[in-house]
Amino acid sequence: MLTNLQQQPADALLALIKLHNADPRPDKIDLGVGVYRTGQGETPVFGAIKAAERKLVEEQDSKAYLGPEGDMGFVEALMPYVFGKDSPDMGGRIEGMQAPGGTGSLRLALALARRANVKRIIVGVPSWPNHAQICADLGLEVVEFNHARADGTVDMDALRAALAGAGAEDAILLHGCCHNPTGIDYSPGDWDEIAGLVSEAKILPIIDLAYQGLGMGMDEDAYGLRRVLVAVPEALVCYSCDKNFGLYRDRVGAFYVMAAEPADLPRIMSNAHALARANWSQPPDHGAAAVRLVLEDETLTAQWLDELDQMRERMRQVRARLAAAGKAGTVDLAPMGGQNGLFSIVPLSKEQVLEMREKHGIYMAGSGRINIAGLTAGNIDKFIAAVAAVAA
């Protein structure tokens, strides 16, 4: 039976990590994998999370099952940050549940959409590759539109055309902020227009918010999500705490449904709970419990927000340095100054990306995507010089 299985291609980024680890050059630079790094190249546990974990060890008196919805204290404590303090549940129309990371939340959103008879998912490309992989696994057709133009601005015409062509069985998947892989986000004005267009198209929006706080700020990064939610009757929101609480391997995410009427929520959530049961039964507890303890404690919340500010500020400084360099050979680094989050794309060919790796020991994804946080005061000049050399 198992001989029927075909070999699958290796995950390109994981293969890149192996190559980087095996490279003996002391000044090699890893810009591949998507985790935040400090100016010293480290990905530390947040101080606020460490403190919450200590509390958890002391105070947690049981590890008995919680149910498919996970830690509802965590899910609810996050809501004012996601949906705004004024109306965190939109008058009883929003309910959530815990999920294993942003990925688990997306799996749940897309599976629920399919159950509700969605057939096609409209996605701007390039996108995070797992969006298309999950859709393919669920038998959902992906309808692509161009996310950004070569000059580093969003392609609103392509989005308008995609929404004009949308039908009754379509949903649109939008990155809430810090677009992965381009770093090119919609402006508040763009979001105002998108909210109107999605509402006119009468299709289900699915908003993926995996980097809140890493772009412009916690409220600023939620602008688009909140703007769309006030314009439409129904929406799904996929949230990850893995970046903004530094919890990557602990798999911390939340999934939220906004229904047309509060009375619709029990029926919808019963489907989401059934899907969770069939997929992972219950989400892992530890990371979400730590986030809940941070959000329940004013001092820890302030510490967490301060740590998040420092991360965002460091990435802004790296971006400002790249933008100040302007042209590196034929590559214009200036647009990166206005982009957001962990990622940007350096417009290099596959051959040039290979040359960056082989000649200069600089590891980046084949698409030219770089992790901005992989750059430090100690290596950024080398990076800019290498781009100038390969794109001479």
Task: Say if residues 209 and 237 touch (Cβ distance below 8 Å).
Answer: yes
Pairing type for strands 94-100 and 252-258 reads antiparallel
* Residue of the chain from 102, 205, 287, 368 that contacts ligand PMP (CB under 6 A): 102
Q: Which of 30, 71, 208, 285 is catalytic?
A: 208
Q: Give the nearest distance from C-beta 226 to ligand PMP in angstroms.
A: 18
Q: Give the nearest distance from C-beta 102 to ligand PMP in angstroms.
A: 3
Q: Is 243 a catalytic residue?
A: yes
Q: Which is nearer to ligand PMP, 46 or 128 (CB)?
A: 128
Q: Which is nearer to ligand PMP, 181 or 361 (CB)?
A: 181
Identify residues 191-250 at the interface with ligand PMP (CB under 6 A): 208, 210, 240, 242
| Per-residue x/- track, 39-78, ligand PMP (CB under 6 A) | ----------------------------------------
Q: Give the nearest distance from C-beta 242 to ligand PMP in angstroms.
A: 4
User: Where does residue 180 rank: exposed (0-12), middle (13-18), buried (19+ CB within 10 A)?
Assistant: buried
Q: Which is nearer to ligand PMP, 109 or 268 (CB)?
A: 109
Report residue 25: phi and psi, to 5°: -65, 125
Q: Give the nearest distance from C-beta 329 to ligand PMP in angstroms.
A: 29
What is the C-alpha to C-alpha distance for residues 255 and 105, in angstroms, rounded to an integer?
5
How many residues sit in the footprint of ligand PMP (CB under 6 A)? 12
User: Where does residue 313 rank: exposed (0-12), middle (13-18), buried (19+ CB within 10 A)?
Assistant: exposed
- Which of 207, 215, 259 is CA-nearest to residue 238? 207
Q: Does 103 bind ligand PMP (CB under 6 A)?
A: yes
| DSSP result, 182-211 | T-----HHHHHHHHHHHHHHT-EEEEEES-
- Quick one: which segment of 37-45, 67-75, 101-109, 182-190 binds ligand PMP (CB under 6 A)? 101-109
How crowded is residue 169: how many other Cβ atoms within 10 Å of its Cβ? Answer: 14
- Quick one: which segment of 100-108, 187-195, 346-354, 375-383 binds ligand PMP (CB under 6 A)? 100-108
Q: Which is nearer to ligand PMP, 124 or 361 (CB)?
A: 124
Report residue 152: phi and psi, to 5°: 85, 15
| Per-residue x/- track, 107-146, ligand PMP (CB under 6 A) | ---------------------x------------------
Task: Say if residues 248 and 213 touch (Cβ distance below 8 Å).
Answer: no
* Residue of the chain from 96, 126, 152, 253 that contacts ligand PMP (CB under 6 A): 253
Identify residues 17-36 at the interface with ligand PMP (CB under 6 A): 34
Q: Is 208 a catalytic residue?
A: yes
Query: Position of tokens 């392509």?
Result: 158
Strand, coil or helix: 283: coil
- Which of 246, 232, 257 is CA-nearest to residue 99? 257
Q: Is 304 a catalytic residue?
A: no
Taking CA atoms, 238 is separated from 107, 166, 171, 221, 371, in Å, by: 9, 22, 14, 14, 22
Taking CA atoms, 130 is separated from 36, 127, 144, 174, 312, in Å, by: 19, 8, 14, 14, 25
Q: Which is nearer to ligand PMP, 287 or 361 (CB)?
A: 287
Binding site for ligand PMP (CB under 6 A): 34, 101-103, 128, 175, 180, 208, 210, 240, 242, 253
Positions marked active-site: 128, 208, 243
